[in-house]
Structure 1
Amino acid sequence: MNLSILHSLRARLLFFLLAAILLTAVVQGGVAYRGALAQADEIFDYHLQRTAFSLSAGNPIANMPGNGETGDIPEDRDLVIQVWTPDGVRVFRSAPRLPLPDRTVLGFSDMEWHGATYRVFSLQTRSQVIQVAQDMAVRTGMASTLALRAVWPIAALAPLLMLVVWWVISVSLRPVDRARRQVATRQANDLSPIGDQGLPDEVRPLVHELNLLLSRVQDAFATQKRFVGDAAHELRSPLAALKLQIQSLQRATDDTTRETATRRLAAGIDRATHLVEQLLLLARQEGGGAPAPSQPVPATSLRDAVGVAIADVLPLAQAREINLGAVHADGDDDVLLPLARDESVVLVRNLIDNAVKYTPGPGRVDVAIHRNAADRRATLTVDDSGPGIPDAERERVFDRFYRSSDATGVGSGLGLAIVKAIADRHGATIVLDRSPTLGGLRAQVTFPLA
C-alpha cells in the first residue's frame, strides 16, 4: 500500500472505515456461520432424540419378522433406524443395504462404519432397544446450507454499507473542498476572508485562524502602503530643498555666498539623512513584530540606555543652551528591562531628542528613572521646560509625520511614532502630560521589569 495516500483525510477515513467494515463483516460472518452450524447440530440431535422417543411411545414394529428384512421400505441415508429386543434379536432395520453394527451405546455417540461417520442416538425401554443414526455427511451438508443462509445477508450488506460510508464522507468533506478551491483560485492580492459556511467543527477553527492571519496581513500591507505614500510625500520636500540649494550654490558669485549655500546644503543633507534613518528605523520597528517566545530577549540596563542616549543628544543640547541631566530616583539600584539594547537606546534617545528640539533655549530637560518593585514595573520620565503639547493633540502626535501646530523645532514627526512602536512591541505604555516641575511636557514610559 502506498502510504502517501494516508496524508489525505478523505483517503485515511475511507481506508480505515472500509477496512473496519470488511473485517467486521468477515468476523461476524464467521461467528454467524459457526453459530448456525452449532444450532443445526442441536436441532438434528433433537430430531434424532424425538424420533427415538416417538418409536418408543408404542410398539408398532415389535411384531415384525425377526430378520427385519423390509425390502419394500426405501433406503434413506438421512436416518437409519434399528430396533432390538432386550435379548438382542433385531426386529427392525430401515435400511437393509446399510446395516450398522450390532452394538449400541445408550445416548448420543459417533460411529465410524464402512468409511462413513454416523451420529447415533440409542434408547432402551423395557420391551426394546431403539437405535436412530444419521450420516454426518448428509447432516453437515444440510447444516452448511442453513449456515450460509444466515451469512449471506451480512455478505450482501457489507458492500452496501461501504458505499454509504463513502458517500457520507464525500458529502461531509465537500465544504472543505470548497474552501480549498476558494484559496486555490485567489489572486495574490485577494486577502478577503474565506467562507466557513457548512465547514465541520473540527475545520472551522483552522479557517477562523487563517482568516485572522489574512486580516493581519491585509492590515500590514495597508500600513506599508500608507507608510510608502507618507515617506514619498515627506522625502519630496527635503529633496526639492536640496535641489534648490545646489542651484543656489551654482549661482554663487563670491566666497561668502558660496559658503552660506554650502552650509545650507550640508544642513539640508543632514535633515534628509536623519529623515531617512528615522523612516528605516520606523519601518523596522513596525515590521519586526513581537519577539518569538523561543528566543528570549536579554535584559538591558535602563540606566545604561539613558547614559548612551544623553551622550548622543548632549552636543545638540549644548548648542541650544539646554541644561540636560539625569536623575536616578532609586539610588544605585539598576533597572533591567526585557528589551534589546539598541531598542531601549532608540526609545530613550527619541524622547530626549524631541524634548531638546522643541524646548527654546535657554531651557532644561530632566530624565528620571523610578523602579517600583511592588508591581515589577519601571518608569522613565522626561520633563522639559518647553511649550508642551495641547491636550487635544497628545494622542495624534504618535501618528507618523504629524507635528503639533505649536511646534517650532525642526523635525520629521517620526520620533514619537518610533517610541510608540517600540513600547507597544514590549508591553510598555507611554503617557504625555504637563510637567509638574518644569511646566513643559512630561513623557512617561512604564516598562515591565525583566
Structure 2
Amino acid sequence: MPKVSPPKPRKKPAAKPSRPKKAAARLPDPSGDAPLHELERDPLSVFLYLAITPEESRALVKELGLQVPGFRQEALGDVQRCDALADEIRYRPEVRDRPLALLRKAFGGPPLAAAPLDPVAAGDLLAVGDSEHGLALSLWRVLCDPAPEVRATALPLLAQLARELYGPVEGEEGPQPAKPRPEEDEPEALRRKLAEAAAELGRAEERLAQARRKSEEREAKLQEWLKSARAREAQAVDDAARARAALEGAQAERQRLDAELRAARGSAEAVEAQRARAALKDAEARLASVESRLERARQREEELERALRDSRSATASAPAGASTGAEEEASEAEAAASWLFPIYTREFYDSLEGWDRRIQRAAFKQAHLLAQDHRHPSLRALPLEGLPGYYRVRVATDVRLLYRRGERQNAVEILSLIDREDLDRYVRQAKTRQA
C-alpha cells in the first residue's frame, strides 16, 4: 500500500452558540513552544531521539559546541548526542528553541493546535500516534463525529485514497483498467484477482513485519540506552558519595594535622634556638682553633725566616767542606718559603657534609699537600673556567676541591668540596655573589 500524505489541515468550524461551555480551554502556543526543560533527562533525551534526525542532532551538537568527557565530538553516537542536548536544554532553557525550530521546519506546527485537549484526549492522541493504524483510527474518529461539517473534512482524503488505490473514477482522465475479454470465464478472472490480492496481502504482511522488526529494534535500542543511562547515573551517585566521604576524611585529617602543627611549633622553636646556640658555640670554637693555628703558623714563619738569615750568614763564613750542610739548610729554607698557610673556610666545612669519611680524609690530605707544594703533580691543579683566581684539585674520580690564593701572599683559601658535575653551577652562583 503506497504511503499517503495527510491532507492539509483545515480550520476548525466555529462552535454553535447554543452549545454550553464548561470552561474556557487554553490552546497551545501557535509556534509550538514547549517547556522541554521541565522534563527529566532521560524522557527529554528520548523525545529528541524520536523528534530530530541524526544529521540534525549532529549539527546542533556542533553548533552549541557540546562535549562529552572522554569522547571526541565527531565520535559521539546518536543517543549520546541526544543526552548532551538534553543536559544543555535543562541547564539553559532558551536552547529548547533549536530542536523545536527543526520540528516547525519539517511539519509546520503541532497537530490539533487549534483544539483544546484534556488528559483523556491527550492520551488518545498519543495512543493513535504510537499505533500502526493511526490513519484508520483518525478517519474513524472523524466519520463518527455528530457534526456534519466535521465528517465532511474526511471526504477529500478518502477521495484521494480512492484514486491512489482504485484508480480514477469514470469521467476523469487517466489510465482505465483493462476490461476482461468476453471469452474469459468469470471464475478464472476471479481466481486471478484472488491471486493478485493474495500477493498484495503477502507484500503488505512483509512490510508490516519489517515495520514491526524496526519498531522492536528501536525499542530494544531505547531499552538498552535507558539501562546504560541508569547504570551511569547509579555510578555517578556512588562516585559522588565516595568523593564526599573522602572530602570529609581529608578535612578531618587536616584539622588533626593543624592541631599537631600548633602543638609542635612551640617545641620546635625551642629546639631551633638550642640548635642555633650550639652552632654558634661550635663556630666560635672553630674560629678560635683557626686563629690559634694562624698564630702558630706566623710564629713558624718568623722562625723559618730567622733560620734562613742565620743559614745565609753561616754559609758566607763557613769553609768549603761545609757546603753540603749549607745546601741542605738552603733546600729546607726554600721549602719553607714555598709553603702556603691553608685557610679552611666555613663554606668548606659545610661542603663536607654528605660525603663519606674516606672522601673527607682525602680532601684534607690534598689540602695539606696543596699547602706544602701547590705545584705538586699529583694535585692536578687547574684553573676554574669562568672564575679568575679560582683553581680545582682532583680528590677522587668525580670529586674536586676548589681553592684560591688568599689576600696574603703565603695563604691559600680552601673553598669547597663538590661533585665534578656541579662545577658549572658553582661558577654561576659565584658570579652572582660577586655581582
TM-score by length of 1: 0.24
The structure whose residues are more often helix, as a share, is 2
- Which structure has the highest strand share of the two? 1
